[in-house]
Amino acid sequence: MKRRTFLRSSLASAALLAAPSELLSHAPSEKAESSNSTIKPSVSEGDGFHIGMAGYTFNKFDIDKTLAFMKKIDVHYLCIKDFHLPLNADTEQIAKFKEKLAAHDVIGYGVGPIYMKDVAAVDTAFAYAQRVGVNIVVGVPGTWGETVPNKEVLDRVEQKVKETGIRYAIHLHGPDMPLYPDATSIWNDVKDRDPRMGMCLDIGHNLRYGADSIKDLKRYAKRVFDIHLKDVTAPTKAGHAIELGRGIIDFPKFVKMLRKVGYKGSLSLEYEKDMSDPFIGIAESIGYFKAVMQNTK
């Protein structure tokens, strides 16, 4: 079954059903099957992974609109970005934020990505994660302009991982950022460190760097703690983000590999096309990926 034609007829209806209220005022909103603490992990029985959203997707929208839309598309996991919940948020702010998540049947499973230019930034990030009550920090141990990893920062990350038990997943950015462009560059820096240091495998950016994301998932599975779902148009820097199923990633093959390696964690859509008006594209992508999961054996 070719990914370009896979269940194409279902995508239009999926997008309409999940459209935001201003586009479709009477779109149905289905309640999660269980309580916020025991949300069904996957649309496919037996899978240990679940579909989520990367908070960065909604960088032009507040948390209320974000959560309302997530409920419409029946997605219940969010990686929290600091523009929705500031790094210096206190206990009261965090409690109110969590109340909003619970009201929409959403779990904030992690925080980030967070850029960490020095050891003070590492301390801030882990203290934030502890206050929020998550067990994973998605981060970049450095800044956008750096070309080599900062050993002092990495050492501090490892120390905080040991102190807190919180896992750390380094986010890769493909050819757009020389620091950690692909999965292998992350693996080389974490393979001999605490096993709770790993990666957030952005399958689109990894592919744009010329790497094979499906093979890298297999190769580095034990250090893949988070995954950013993304489709792209080409395996080069010129490749750009597009709705899932419209690009070059073989998602049925990807889902098979997830199950083969026994991945347990989030598959968070990081949608970077039309970010000022992303809702139809997000709905199509989520609908497509759910269909792939249900129909791939």
Q: Note whether residue 1 is domain-resident.
A: no
Specify if 92 maps to a domain.
yes
Other Cβ atoms less than 10 A from the Cβ of 188: the count is 11
Instruction: Give the model confidence (pLDDT) of 202-245 as tens digits.
Output: 999 999 999 999 999 999 999 999 999 999 999 999 999 999 99
pLDDT in tens, 185-213: 999 999 999 999 999 999 999 999 999 99
Residues of the domain holding 84? 8-18+42-295
Give the least confident one: 37-41, 104-108, 270-274: 37-41
Question: 3-class DSSP state for residue 166?
Answer: coil
Please count the structural domains in the chain: 1
Q: Which residue has the tokens 């489709």?
A: 231
Domain containing 227 — which CATH number? 3.20.20.150
**What's the gap between Cα 70 and its chain centre?**
14
Does residue 173 fall inside a structural domain?
Answer: yes
- Report the chain's terminal Cα–Cα distance, integer Å: 12
* pLDDT tens per residue, range 61-88: 999 999 999 999 999 999 999 999 999 9
Q: Is position 33 within any domain?
A: no
**Residue 154 placed within a domain:** yes
Q: Considering the domain boundaries, does residue 275 fall inside one?
A: yes
Is residue 3 situated within a structural domain?
Answer: no
Cβ–Cβ < 8 Å for 198, 190: yes
Note whether residue 28 is domain-resident.
no
- Write down the pLDDT at residue 148: 81
